Amino acid sequence: MGAGKSTIGKLLALQLGLPFADTDKVLEDRTGADIPWIFDVEGEAGFRRRESEVLEDLCRGPVQVIATGGGIVLAEQNRRQLKKHGLVVYLQASADQLLERTAKNSNRPLLRVADPRARIIELLEQRDPLYREVADLICDTDDCTPKQAALMVAERLVSD
């Protein structure tokens, strides 16, 4: 959350001349409901099930840049999908940077807690090893703009 997946993904897709998809947006379009509502009604488990279905569908589609929800790596089946069907870029950011980027966004169900910083640290500790497991490329987004990050990823993809 807050690493820049959607913003950087759109910019990267433009640079590479590829279509762009965001799993959260696709899920919202399919259900007609926003992510916080899905969390409220179906819980995180229901959201994660729907998220996995979206990822599977997108992986069967044309070559494209896909921005996933931050927790998509929690499910082993999703990690397998990501490794099998694409080149995975892990947009890494520090807890302080993530807190700053998400502080004004109330559309983050997992951060509706008394101590968002502690929650971000908890999520990082849980997810970082999983991202590293599937990542083909790791890009630190702390000290760069989304445009700089997208350019850095594009250059590294082209050079590899």
- pLDDT (tens digit, 9 = 90+) per residue, 77-134? 999 999 999 899 999 888 878 777 666 655 655 556 667 778 888 888 999 999 999 9
β-bridge partners, 140 = 92
DSSP code for 21: E
Helical packing angle, 35-60 and 76-85, nearest 10°: 40
Amino acid, single-letter form, for residue 42: E
Residue ranges of the domains in the chain? 5-159
Range 5-159: architecture per CATH: 3-Layer(aba) Sandwich (3.40)
Which strand (E) or helix (H) includes residue 105? none
How far is the C-alpha of 23 from the C-alpha of 61, rounded, in Å? 13
Q: What residues form the annotated binding site for Mg(2+)? A: 6
Model confidence pLDDT, tens digit, residues 46-74: 999 999 999 999 999 999 999 998 889 99
Instruction: List pLDDT tens digits, range 116-125.
Output: 778 888 888 9
- 3-state DSSP assignment of residue 101: helix
Q: Which residues are annotated as a binding site?
A: 2-7, 24, 48, 70, 108, 127
- Beta-bridge mates of residue 137: 89
Mention every residue, 6+ apart, whose C-beta is less than 8 A from residue 25: 6
Both structure tokens of 110: 């997992």
Name the binding residues for substrate.
24, 48, 70, 127
